[in-house]
Amino acid sequence: MAVILRELTTQPEGLAPGHGLCPGCSESVVVRQVLHALGKPAVVALATGCLEVSTTRFPYTSWQTSVVHNAFENAATTIGGAEAAYTAMVRRGAIQPRDVVFVVFAGDGATYDIGLQWLSGALERGHRFIYVCLNNEGYMNTGIQRSGATMLGTWTTTTPVGKLAPGKLTWRKDMTGIIASHHIPYVAQAAPHAWKDFMTKVQRAGSAEGPSFLNVLAPCNRGWRYEARNTMRVSQLAVETCLWPLYEVDHGTWKLDYRPRNKRPVTEWLQSQGRFAHLLRPENHAIVEEIQQRVDGEWEHLQQRCQE
């Protein structure tokens, strides 16, 4: 299974230009990578969020594939129902089998928090679909509020910085690990700058006999406070600092897909974004140390799981 760039450039676009996503937003990049890697018709469920509201503004749409809009929480249930209906109609001969894939695109708020029980149920039932979490570490569409994916010390509009609090007071959820504990066929973490790694994972997810989950870092220049031209640099820094490792869990086997040659300090990630500017002050040095310790601990634990 190989991703050949020359072949990808000849495929039709699944997401057309002219949408309303911010300049520098990584979400359109992620969506195009997914649809190109699949290379087949897709039925897409969109949870409410930046991607949905920016690409389906009535009476227009940027989607060149079948799309259904969902509430924040129930995209996994909707796609599970669509997949079950398709399977049932094929089984009784009402329609002919087609080479089609069922996909969910949802933000971290809809995945880590509001829709977690719906997603968990759909995974348990074993529907064959790909769930793509666009992880921009907050509820960006509704005003940059914190989510379960938001890291310790992060400024958001609901975790303000001041004398009483230095941003978010708690660590993020290990959502990829939570999903892996459901023992589904395929789970992976990815980032848009590492396009070949990500698109290969999309193809593996698409060939899985059952549900699959892709947790994709989706840098948000508006919410993270950096220049739009630096989106891929910020994505790469997350991986090089081991704050966002690239790995996969294929039928229960953990595999590390990238090991930085020189692991960079987490301060480089913090310095790249305005939402962490307060952490660079001397009085918040202890928080930076805690973040580094947590990142190092998670990295060591991941290597052990992957038997590295």
Q: Please, are residues 221 and 228 in contact by the beta-carbon 8 Å criterion?
A: yes
Distance CA 305, CA 279 (A): 31
Predicted confidence (pLDDT) at residue 90 exceeds the cutoff of 70: yes
- Taking the domains of the chain in order of start, what are their residue ranges? 5-305
Distance, first Cα to last Cα, the chain: 24
Asked whether 34 and 216 are in contact (CB, 8 A), the reply is no
| pLDDT value of position 41 | 93
Confidence of residue 178 (pLDDT cuts 50, 70, 90): very high
What would the mean pLDDT of 127-152 be, rounded to a whole number?
98
pLDDT score at 175: 98
Reference 118, options 172, 67, 173, 80; nearest CA is 80
From 261, 251, 255, select the one nearest 305 (Cα to Cα): 255
Whether residue 8 is predicted with pLDDT greater than 80 in this model: the reply is no
Name residue 305's amino acid.
R
State which fold the 5-305 domain adopts. Rossmann fold (3.40.50)
- Segment 274-284 shows an average pLDDT of 97
Read off the pLDDT of each residue in 146-169 and give the average, rounded to a whole number: 96
- Res 183 pLDDT > 70: yes
Q: Please report the pLDDT score of residue 206 as a whole number.
A: 96
Taking each helix axis from N to C end, the angle separating 75-91 and 116-125, rounded to the nearest 10 degrees, works out to: 20
**pLDDT score for 11:** 80
Does residue 126 carry a pLDDT above 90? yes
Q: Tokens 């968990």 identify what position?
A: 120
- Which position has the token pair 């009483």? 164
Instruction: Tokens 């227009």: give the residue.
Output: 60
- Global pTM value: 0.96
DSSP summary character for residue 63? B
DSSP 76-133: HHHHHHHHHHHHHHHHTTSS-----EEEEEEEHIIIIIITHHHHHHHHHHT---EEEE
For residue 128, give both structure tokens. Answer: 């064959």
Residue type, 113: D
10 Å CB burial of residue 267 (0-12, 13-18, 19+) is: middle
Asked if residue 1 has pLDDT above 90, the reply is no
User: What's residue 2's pLDDT?
Assistant: 63
Pick the closest to residue 79 from 54, 108, 42 (CA basis). 42
Percent of the chain residues past pLDDT 90, beyond the cut: 93
pLDDT at 3 over 70: no
Residue 308, pLDDT > 90, answer no
Size (the chain), residues: 308
For the stretch 194-239, pLDDT in tens is 999 999 999 999 999 999 999 999 999 999 999 999 999 999 999 9
Contact criterion met (CB below 8 Å) for 103 and 128 = no
Integer-rounded Cα radius of gyration of the chain: 19
Mean pLDDT of the chain: 96
- Cβ proximity of 109 and 48 under 8 Å: no
